[in-house]
Each structure stands twice: as structure tokens, then as C-alpha cells.
Chain A
């Protein structure tokens, strides 16, 4: 789905910051923070899928949680349908939650083991009061139909289902309240490839059916490529590149994106690629490197990268990169 210019912005994240205080040993030193998300901005169009990729700990989940206000962000604004949801009080927020849903990674941990599927779905509808009581049963059956589960599933407990089935239940729960935006945090990472495929297909199908908008968080680039319209790459709490899927996969501009893409093992033994090997480990987000946060591992880093933090610049049609030398990599 190529986004037309008049596409409506559903979610706009503006200078979002999420710092977590960490305990220090010193009494006197100032408090240290994990700058899990450090001043990022992006937006989502209605009906599209934006993916966030990046290595473990770069702040993907934190971004999702901040948008959902599962953790209170440290700073910034999150506009949903034009309204800054960070300004809402607890009650208003609870009401709005029907529009924002989430599907988590762990199909085992994301369902209360002591509730039947019926109770799970019923509760979701009851909390948001989206369906009148008498109609709930038929709605539940409808939901099960969407996610491809049989009606008998209703009276069973989560542990009686396989991982893939549980993930479907999670999806049904999210759908139960008629959301506009669904955040999928590693929604398929824990699943075996064959089941992963089923869930990916399902998500795509439902997106079409209900005009859903997805914020899709994953570190699996092949999955991301399959499902997204646009992709955002994060590194240590910062956005390093954001672009249409095609642009990003075909002509990544940030050295980190390039390295990331080249690191993915491809299930094709005939395809021998030139790999960009990164040296070292991801630095700690407590003391992120100065300047460009990637400079410690970047094969092209210069003194400038060490000293100066690059801005997110538009380098092509909706293709934003934060690298001083992005032009060079075109």
C-alpha cells in the first residue's frame, strides 16, 4: 500500500523520551538513567503497518509501552487521532484504551492461565463495554471465526492450546474491543516458522478486513519485510533510519541498517553475500556514546561522528536517516 499524501495520520509520536532510573551505588552521584528511548519522533498513517527493528535493548518495546502508557513516558507527546493521550487522566485513558491494543510476544505469558477463553474475551468486552451483554456470545463466536479457532475453544483454558493457538486468542482479545491501532510487540518471535507464517497471514488478513493500523515491533527482518509498509530502525534509543520498506531494504542509507541487513542469515546457500561485520557489542544505554551513538561500532566513523549527534534528515521520498555521511552511502 503506497501511502498517498492525503493519508490520515492516526498516531503521531513527538519527541518521546523514556528514561528509567537505575540504582547507583553512590549516595552522592546524581541518579543514573537508562535512556531506553531518547527523543524519538515518528507517525503512523491510518491502515498502514510501521515496523520497528533494531537489536535487543534498543528501545523497541519501550516505545510501544510508552505509547500505550503502560509506562509513563518521561517526556514528549503522543497524539492519537489528534489528541495528546499523555494529557488524559486515568479515566479518560481507560476509555481510550479500546482504540489501542497490543499483542505480545509470549503466547504463554500473555493469557491469564486461570481464565477460560470465554472469560478472557468476555472481560475484554465488559471492560470497554463495546458489546451489549446479550450479544457478547455471538460476538465471541465471530471473533473466534476471524482468528480461526473452533467454538469449543471457549470453554477451555489457555494451557490446553498450542503456542500458535494461544497467539490467536491474544489476537481475538485485541480485536474484541474494535481497536484502531494494534501494537504487535514481537508477536511472532516465539513461534516456530510454520506457525509464524499462519499468524502473519492472519494479521494481514485482519488488517485488510478491519482497516487496522499496526505498529509492528520485531527484530526479525524477514518478517518485517513481509508485513510492513514502512520500517523504522532504532539503535540505542534513537531512530537511525525510517523509510518505506522498499527503500529501506533496497537502499539502506545508515551503516547500521546496512550491517543489520547483511547480518541476517538467508536460507539460501547459493546466495553468498558480502557481509558487513560489526565489531564489539552494543554499548550500555546508561552511558550511551557521545555524538552518533553508533560510532563505536561503525566501520566508517570519524571524529565528527564522535563529537556531533547527527540529525534525522530526509534523504529521499519519506526516507529519513540520521547519519552525517548518509549521502555517501546512497
Chain B
């Protein structure tokens, strides 16, 4: 799939706005627990998180240990997923790599969400020219073919984990901004905002205390779905040689490295590929489940 799958964001906007009829969050949570798919997603993610935490305990080998004499060993009892072209144990690398790949994903999404939320809130709340200015700038970001934006950013900042993260994060900004703006517009119209305004609250209080908490659900849903995309995008950048610096076992880098052996030693690419796919799948399922959970209509 394409790098910048702007997943169903319109759907998210329309489906998950907090209609503060009831506490979305609590209800959402309970429905989430009952939503089997979301549970599966959550379990997958949890599994990965545990792997990331306990990688040093789980990994049978040093993920950085180059043993050229062991290179390209197919999966065996010694090396469950085989070894790569430098004789490193793929399983150990994948275990350690979970930290990097999830780290990139989570940091990038937080980065994108942070700026996106601020821009979206300001645009949505103040409206008028502020809104149009901000949203035009977001349009500019969005109109950039995403991978090219990333390419340019990475060329400018140099490759490396942090910069890949920023690059994919930047591209997430307009997506969050759009969703947040849409939700803000919707929540802004609600009467409790007018009520708090007529009590004399200042804009900061209104925006951060009264609007933001009530638009969290679409943000969270977008965040999880975005995480999936971001991880894939980062892998895509690695494919173009713009990813993490060696010898870090970032999955996208491993995968792109493995493409040289796609036909001769496919396991080098298959396992990191699977690791990515399953994690992305987890986030997608989870995000979907969340969306259902927060969707007010699911509760009738």
C-alpha cells in the first residue's frame, strides 16, 4: 500500500466526535473490552510492548554481534529465524528492533499529534482568517507528496532514527490538524462551551480544559491508525535508504537490507516484514475497535 495512506480520516471525523451525551470514555472503554477485535489488537500491541521491554532477556544473542562466518544461515534450532548477511541472529535483532520501530512510530505520532492538535484547536476555535491561514499551510504540507516531504526533510537533516521520526511526524501534522479542527468546530458549537464562555472563561481555559478533553477520542483513534501508517512509512523510507543508521536493527532497515536476498535467503526479509505487518495489523485492529467503541451510535 501507499506510504501515506490517509486512512479513512473523513470517516473518523464523522464517526468519533464526542457527542457528550454520556461519558464517551468510560462507555468506550467498556465496549472496547467487549469488542473482540479490539482486544485482539490490544493483545498484539501489548505483546510487542512486552517484547520491547524485555528484549535483553529474551534475545538469545547480541543483536549487534557480527560473525561473518555465520552469515546467511537458514532458520535452525540455533537461530530460530536464521542469520543475516553479517551473521547476526535475526530473532535477536527483531526483538531489539521492536524498541526502535515502535519508538519511531510512537514518537512520530506524538510529534504529529502535538502540533496537529495545537494547530487544529487554534484554527477550529478562532476560525476566520486564522483558520484559513493555518489550514492553507496544512494543505501545503498535505499537498506535498508525503514521501518527498520526508525525503527532503531527511536530506536536509541527514538520515537517522530521529530524523526519520521527524519526517514521518511532520507529515502527520496536517492529518491531525484536520481532524482536530473538525472536531473542534463541532464541539465549539455545543452549548456548554457557550455556557463557559458566558461565565467569562478565557480562551485558554476553554480550549484546553473544555474542548480538548472532549475531542480526545477521534484523536486517539486517528493516533492508533496513524501509528500503523507511520511504521510502514518509516519502513518505506528505509527501503529508499533513508532509514535508521546501521547497525541498528530497525525493522524497515532490516527488511530493505533483506531485499538483496529476497530470492536466495528470503527469511532475512520475511521475518522483519512479518514483524512489521503484524504490529501494523495490531494497531489497525485496535484503532478500528476504538473507533467502534467511541462511535456514539454503537451504543444504542
Residues of A within 8 A of B (CB): 65, 68, 70, 93-98, 100-102, 104-106, 108-114, 123-124, 127-128, 157-159, 170, 173, 177
Contact = CB atoms under 8 A, between A and B. Distances in A.
Contacts of B20: 108-109, 111-114, 158
Interface stretch (B97-105, B186-194, B272-280): B186-194
B135 to A, nearest CB: 15
Given A127-B196, A127-B201, 4 more contacts: A97-B198, A108-B20, A113-B20, A113-B21
B197 interface: yes
A105 B21 CA distance: 14
A194 to B, nearest CB: 21
A96 to B, nearest CB: 8
Nearest to A108: B21
A128 to B, nearest CB: 6
B24 A113 contact: yes
B195 to A, nearest CB: 6
Contacts of A70: 194, 197-198
Interface residues of B, number: 23
A100 B198 contact: yes
B210 interface: yes
Nearest to A185: B191
Given A106-B191, A108-B20, A157-B23, A113 B199 contact: no
Q: Which 9 residue pairs are nearest across A and B when measured between Cβ atoms? A: A113-B20, A97-B200, A104-B191, A159-B22, A110-B191, A94-B200, A109-B191, A109-B190, A114-B213
Given A97-B200, A114-B213, A102 B23 contact: no
A30 B23 CA distance: 45
Interface of B: 18, 20-25, 190-192, 194-202, 205, 210, 213-214
Contacts of B205: 127
A110 B200 contact: no
A104 B23 contact: no
20 contacts: A70-B198, A93-B200, A95-B200, A97-B200, A98-B200, A100-B198, A102-B195, A109-B20, A109-B190, A109-B192, A110-B191, A112-B20, A112-B192, A112-B196, A113-B22, A114-B214, A127-B196, A127-B199, A159-B21, A173-B195
A93 B202 CA distance: 11
Contacts of B195: 102, 104, 110-111, 170, 173
Contacts of B199: 97-98, 101, 123-124, 127-128, 173, 177
B154 to A, nearest CB: 40
Contacts of B201: 94, 123, 127
B216 to A, nearest CB: 9
Contacts of B200: 93-98, 127-128
Contact of A101 (B21, B198, B213): B198
A113 B89 CA distance: 52
A68 B210 CA distance: 19
* Max count, chain B CB within 10 A of own CB: residue among A98, A101, A114, A127: A114
Contacts of B213: 112, 114
A102 B193 CA distance: 12
Contacts of A123: 196, 199, 201
B294 to A, nearest CB: 13
B183 to A, nearest CB: 14
A114 B23 contact: yes
Nearest to B190: A109
Contacts of A177: 199
Given A68-B198, A100-B198, A102-B198, A113 B191 contact: no
A112 B21 contact: no
B198 to A, nearest CB: 5
A258 B287 CA distance: 57
A93 B18 CA distance: 30
Nearest to A129: B200
Nearest to B203: A90
Contacts of B196: 112, 123, 127
A74 to B, nearest CB: 15
A105 to B, nearest CB: 7
Contacts of B214: 112-114
Nearest to A105: B191
A112 B20 CA distance: 7
A100 B213 CA distance: 27
* Max count, chain A CB within 10 A of own CB: residue among B22, B191, B198, B199: B199
A112 B210 contact: yes
